[in-house]
Amino acid sequence: MIKVVPAIDIIGGRCVRLSQGDYNRSTFYSTEPSEMAGRFLDAGLSRIHAVDLEGAKSGHPANLDSLRKLSSISGTEIEWGGGIKTREDVNAALEAGASRVVMGTTAVKDPELFKSLLLEYGSGRIVLGADVRGTKVAVRGWTETSAMDVSTLLESLTPALLEVIVTDISKDGMFSGPDPVFYKNLMNSFPSLVITASGGVGRVDDIKSLEQAGVPAVIVGKALYEGRVRLEDLDYGR
């Protein structure tokens, strides 16, 4: 059964969602991150994907206080990303309570450092976040698109890498539905990787389509906040 991982994106200690990774197209929500995490936990969803959007844009963690509040909620497993580029950043996030740290830009800009962190902390603590436009990897909080193809990136990091979150930026926050074929092709090319899909989910049927393609996990964000996917309708990975 596919595992649903709810997303909490944070700016200034508040929940926010972007459309297609555009910081100028952001929607703020009144519910604060810790309250939203409590709702997810009450619905049986313990693993939470949280992103420090300010940190992602600036290149340095900016909302560790929010991480501390989230991680203080008993029973939650916080997967934290955004601006994590150095060993010091990783340590700061783990000390603030993150269960897993998501890194993306470093894997592209300094792959040797990323590999060394994988070996030092283990692939269970360090997860690759591969954000893509088309097939090209975007970095620096989605503000810059590199020339590197996602397959090239994944090939360069295996076999040390075990888990990757692949976000389709063009679909993120648009409710247009993910592309199951894209993820299935990636899984066929890299059978040793556990791939989490992200971007585009707008209804429960989108989750089912990924499940049918064999995708092990999916991140759902804006669709939950807008009521297009209701917590009571979910029965995935509890």
Q: Which of 9, 89, 172, 179 is catalytic?
A: 9
Q: Going by C-beta distance under 8 Å and a sequence separation of 6 or more, which residues neighbour residue 158?
A: 190, 192, 193
Q: Going by C-beta distance under 8 Å and a sequence separation of 6 or more, which residues neighbour residue 229?
A: 201, 202, 203, 204, 207, 220, 223
Place of tokens 């700016």: 11
The answer to whether 9 is a known catalytic residue is yes
CA distance 87 to 91: 6
Q: Which of 52, 89, 131, 172 is catalytic?
A: 131
Two structure tokens written together for 143: 């503000």
Two structure tokens written together for 94: 């783990």
The answer to whether 131 is a known catalytic residue is yes
Residues labelled as active-site residues: 9, 131
